[in-house]
Amino acid sequence: MSFLLPCPHCGQRSVYEFRFGGEVKDQPPLDAPESAWIDYRFYRTNTAGVQTEWWLHRFGCGQWMQAVRNTVSNEVLESFLPEEKGR
C-alpha cells in the first residue's frame, strides 16, 4: 500500500500520513433495535470496489475528511470535507 491520498487542505499526500477511519455508515436512529446498532458498530460491508471512507490527516492538518476510493485498485476518485459536500 503506497498510494497518494488527496487531502482537501494539504493536497496529494502519502497514505501513511493518514489514519483510516473505516467506511462511512449511517448511524441508526436512537430507538432502532439492538441488532441494528450491533450491525452498525461491529459489521463491515467489506466492499470490493468503490466505497466512501473516513480518513484523518493525522500527520498533516489533523482534520477528518472523506474519500471515495476503489478498494481493489486503491484509486481515489475524490476527497472532500463532509460539511462541504452538501453545500
Partner 1 sequence: MKFFFQGKTVEAKPGDSIAAALFRGGRRIFSRSFKYHRPRGLLCVAGSCPNCMMNVDGVPNVRTCVTPAQEGVRVKAQNAFPSLETDFLSASQHFDRLMPVGWYYKTFTHPAMWHAVEPIIRKAAGLGEVLPTRRVEYEHQWMHTDAAVIGGGWAGIQATWAIAERGDLVVLVDDQPSLGGSSLYRKNANDLPADAIAKLENMPNVRILQRSSCFGMYEGNLLGILQRNPHSHAVERLVHLRAKRIVVATGSYETPILFPNNDLPGVMLSTGAWRLLDLHGIVPGKRAVVVGSGAVANEMASKLRESGVEVAALVAATEIISARGTAQVTGIQTSTRNFSCDLIVVCGPHVPNAGLVSQAGGKLNWSDAQGAFLPGDLPSNVSVVGGAAGEMPPNAIPPLSTDKRAFVCLCSDVSCKDLCDGVNEGFDVIETLKRYTTATMGPCQGRMCQLSAIGICAKETGRTLGETGVTTSRPPNPSVTLGALAGPGHHPTRFTPMHSSHQRMGAVWMDMGGWKRSRYYKRHQAASESESVLLEHKSVREAVGVIDVSTLGKLDVRGRDAGKLLDLVYTHRFSELRVNQVRYALMCDQGGVILDDGTISRLSETRYFVTTTSGNLDFVQQWLQWQLVGKDWDVHICNVTPGYGAMNLAGPRSRDVLAKLAACDLSSAAFPYMACRESTIGEVPVILLRIGFVGETGWEIHCPAESAEEVWQMLLDAGKEFGVEPFGVEAQRLLRLEKRHVIVGVDTDALTNPYEAGLGWAVQLDKPDFVGKSLLAHAAKNQPREKLVGFILKGAGLPKDGAAVVMNGQPAGRVTSSRFSPIQNGAIGLAFVPVSEAREGASIQVRVGGELSPATVTMKPFYDPEGLRLRQ
List residues near partner 1 by CB under 8 A: 1-4, 14-15, 19, 21, 27-28, 30-32, 34, 37-38, 40-42, 54, 56, 58, 62-64, 74, 82-83
Smallest gap from Cβ 14 to partner 1, in A, equals 8
- Which of residues 21 and 47 has its CB atom nearest to partner 1 in the complex? 21
Give me the least distance between CB of 46 and partner 1, in Å please.
18
- Cell readout for 2 is 503506497
Residue 56 near residue 64 (C-beta atoms within 8 A): yes
Short-list 87, 74, 85, CA closest to 6: 74
Q: How far is the CB of 12 from partner 1 (least distance, A)?
A: 9
Per-residue cell: 68: 471515495
Please tell me the distance from the alpha carbon of residue 49 to that of residue 42, in angstroms, as a whole number: 21
